[in-house]
């Protein structure tokens, strides 16, 4: 039985093991760059790349905070930089994906040309029209004919769901593709992570795909034998498509199934053996339950 889409199970990603809570090199780079911009008072960088730092400091000033508190606000904003950058990148990726999806749906007759224009307008409004330009160029040069878009698939053996961006034909061959917005701060295309291969391999091992999300209708997956798996890196300057090497299919799938097992093991762990209720010490009995207790002598109550 296929899953309820409200709880589709783990996505076919490689990051299925527990988070170690460490700063990655990518995160550290953003924190270091933001720190350097703040120390140097690089007005251009603070305005274009790190406006949140200035906003945090101005908010502290508006509340009458002293210089030490303003510095703490700046440090907190700097620490939040990787999360803000990641969120902005994810939102931009969604807009680019939605434009590509709209083109595919237009080809399939599911939406009008106006729907494509609307998605282009959204990109333009965010200064991201170049992504649309290179995607349209790629579509035309490859003579892409969409077969399916944003398809949710299900693997019974692993109990795992995944979403495939596009299934299309080009030059008589069937492709399953995945779009990745991959650009550096100069707008150039960055190399793709090899893990995209594991995502795309889900197309070869899917059993069913959803055909009606509202009613929960699933049907057999008809595209488990495509000619190629294609990872498509999209930046404002270019679209760089790369084929997944068929010689690595078995190895990559074995790696994915191993990671899937780790994820399940972590999820199935008895949380009761890890977390237990903590009872307050006897001193708590001095106050009735449900009453909020402040610090002595009104400390921390503010000026009210």
Angle, alpha carbons 178-182-186 (nearest 5°): 160
Which helix (H) or strand (E) segment holds residue 165: the answer is: strand 160-170
Q: At what angle do helices 81-107 and 51-62 cross, to 10 degrees?
A: 130
Could you tell me what percent of the chain has a pLDDT over 90?
53
pLDDT at residue 3 tops 50: no
Per-residue model confidence (pLDDT) at position 16: 41
- Measured CA to CA, the distance from residue 276 to residue 270 in angstroms comes to 11
- Measured CA to CA, the distance from residue 95 to residue 87 in angstroms comes to 13
Per-residue model confidence (pLDDT) at position 14: 41
Per-residue model confidence (pLDDT) at position 21: 47
Domain 91-267 in CATH 3.90.320? yes
**Greatest distance between any 2 Cα atoms in the chain:** 80
Sheet order of strands, 173-181 included:
217-220, 208-212, 145-155, 160-170, 173-181, 228-234, 239-243
pLDDT at residue 17 tops 60: no
Task: Please check whether residue 262 is in contact with residue 210, taking contact to mean a CB–CB distance below 8 angstroms.
Answer: no
Confidence tier at 11 by pLDDT (50, 70, 90)? very low
Q: Where in the chain is the domain with CATH 3.90.320?
A: 91-267
Higher pLDDT: 100 or 265? It is: 100
Task: Please check whether residue 244 is in contact with residue 230, taking contact to mean a CB–CB distance below 8 angstroms.
Answer: yes
How far is CA 229 from its chain centroid? 21
Average pLDDT over residues 212-221: 90
């Amino acid at each position: 039985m296929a899953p309820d889409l409200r709880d589709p199970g783990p996505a076919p990603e490689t990051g299925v093991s527990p988070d170690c809570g460490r700063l990655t090199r990518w995160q550290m780079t953003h924190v270091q760059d933001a720190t350097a911009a703040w120390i140097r008072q690089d007005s251009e960088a603070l305005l274009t790349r790190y406006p949140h730092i200035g906003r945090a400091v101005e908010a502290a000033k508006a509340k009458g905070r002293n210089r030490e508190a303003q510095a703490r606000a700046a440090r907190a904003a700097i620490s939040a930089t990787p999360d803000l950058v990641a969120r902005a990148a994810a939102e931009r990726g969604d807009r680019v994906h939605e434009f590509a999806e709209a083109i595919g749906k237009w080809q399939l007759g599911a939406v009008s040309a106006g729907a494509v224009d609307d998605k282009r307008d959204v990109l333009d409004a965010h200064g991201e029209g170049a992504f649309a330009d290179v995607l349209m160029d790629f579509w035309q040069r490859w003579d892409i004919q969409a077969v399916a878009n944003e398809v949710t698939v299900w693997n019974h053996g692993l109990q795992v769901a995944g979403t495939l961006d596009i299934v299309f034909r080009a030059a008589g061959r069937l492709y399953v593709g995945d779009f990745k917005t991959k650009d550096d701060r100069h707008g150039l295309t960055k190399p793709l992570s090899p893990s995209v291969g594991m995502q795309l391999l889900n197309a070869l091992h899917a059993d069913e795909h959803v055909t009606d999300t509202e009613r929960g209708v699933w049907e057999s997956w008809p595209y488990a034998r495509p000619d190629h798996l294609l990872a498509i890196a999209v930046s404002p300057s270019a679209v760089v498509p790369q084929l997944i090497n068929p010689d690595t299919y078995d190895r990559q799938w074995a790696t994915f199934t191993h990671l899937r097992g780790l994820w399940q093991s972590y999820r199935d762990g008895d949380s009761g053996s890890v977390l237990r209720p903590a009872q307050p010490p006897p001193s708590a009995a001095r106050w009735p339950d449900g009453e909020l207790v402040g610090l002595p002598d009104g400390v921390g109550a503010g000026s009210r």
